[in-house]
Amino acid sequence: MGRITVVGSYNRDTVLAVPRFPQPGETLAATGMTRFHGGKGSNQAVAAARAGATVTMVAAIGRDAAGQGALALWAEEDIDARAVMSLDGVPTGEALILVDEQGENEIVLVAGANGVLAAEGAAGAVAGAALVVAQLETPLGVTEAAFRAARARGIATLLNAAPARDLPDGLLALTDILVVNETEAALMLARTAAPGALAAALAPRHARGVVLTAGAGGAYWAGRDGVVVHVPALPVEVVDSTGAGDAFIGAFAAALVERARESEALRRGVVAGALACGVAGAVPSLPRLAAIEAAAAQYR
């Protein structure tokens, strides 16, 4: 299996259980608090490693307790962290996550060290990878530098366009596979439509195609050939959806570097995302390969 290089964020997640989301100006009592490892980049790296891939992490952390926790996590998950920057005077990133009684979440981020990740280190870490994966919780210039280095070496790139924001044309041109949800796709197209139509509209902009995740609606793959593939969601009792998107991307990416067809990679991603919804916390919820394969076998 080829190696995946993940360029992205690490956050320490503080998760507050709430009966519902507060209204503007309202103070609401939480019913519980837990802390987990987080950050889209780190979550996706762990998800890919648990799904069977060899993974290198490129990130920036502070020289603090949270940063030491990140290094311990990556070592435990057998993720190569030699390209991770440990910085003095900058805190490790933080995330505050509210989870309601239906398992839905709202997230507020503090970038910390994620905001000063260096482009040079990211670009240098892509050599030897089969796929470079990035998100939007670190500086766009860093992702663009990594993708440019990947393109020069003939390495495929995958961009998870989350959190939603405007993206430069240069970065999109370097993105082989774009992964978005319905909100992110509608923002990029400045219109709403059915999920499959949104994916199809975005696909011609990218070398291979677009994945659109639709939660309970499953996921869609739209290739440049105009073919749209839909994989329905698995029925699942949602405990916490925080890690579902990252579980999807990690399993999808791991399947791609195993040379699976996009439709099969999509199915594995949907299965992993569904399994993640049944466990509280992002990293604890990320399923391992055996669980993904067992659930996928029943889902054919």
Exposed e or buried b for every residue in 67-103, given b needs 16+ CB within 10 A? bebbbebbeebebbbebbbbbeebbbbbbebbbeeeb
- Is 190 assigned to a binding site? no
Q: Is 166 known as a binding-site position? A: no
Q: Supply φ then ψ for residue 74, to 5 degrees.
A: -65, -35
Q: Is 291 annotated as a binding residue?
A: no
Any binding-site annotation on 215? yes
User: What is the secondary structure of 205-232 as a DSSP string?
Assistant: GSSSEEEEE-GGG-EEEEETTS-EEEEP
213 is in an annotated binding site: yes
Beta strand 85-87 with 60-62: parallel, antiparallel or unpaired?
parallel
* Annotated binding-site residue? 218: yes
Give the position of tokens 């190696």: 3
Residue 160 marked in a binding site:
no
What is the pairing mode between strands 11-17 and 32-38?
antiparallel
Q: Is 246 annotated as a binding residue?
A: yes
Determine if residue 294 is labeled as part of a ligand binding site. no
Catalytic residue (one of 64, 80, 176, 246)? 246
Q: What is the CA radius of gyration of the chain?
A: 18
Q: How far apart, in Å, are the Cα atoms of 11 and each of 8, 70, 96, 191, 287?
A: 10, 8, 10, 32, 20
Question: Would you say 41 is a known binding-site residue?
Answer: yes
Q: Is 154 helix (H, G, I), strand (E, B) or coil?
A: coil
Any binding-site annotation on 276?
Answer: yes
**Would you call 246 a catalytic residue per the annotation?**
yes
Can you say how many angstroms the Cα of residue 66 is from the centroid of all Cα atoms in its chain? 20
Which segments are annotated as binding site for ATP?
Answer: 181, 213-218, 245-246
User: Would you name the residues annotated as active-site residues?
Assistant: 246
Binding-site residues, in ranges, read: 11-13, 39-43, 137, 181, 213-218, 240, 242, 245-246, 276, 279, 281, 285
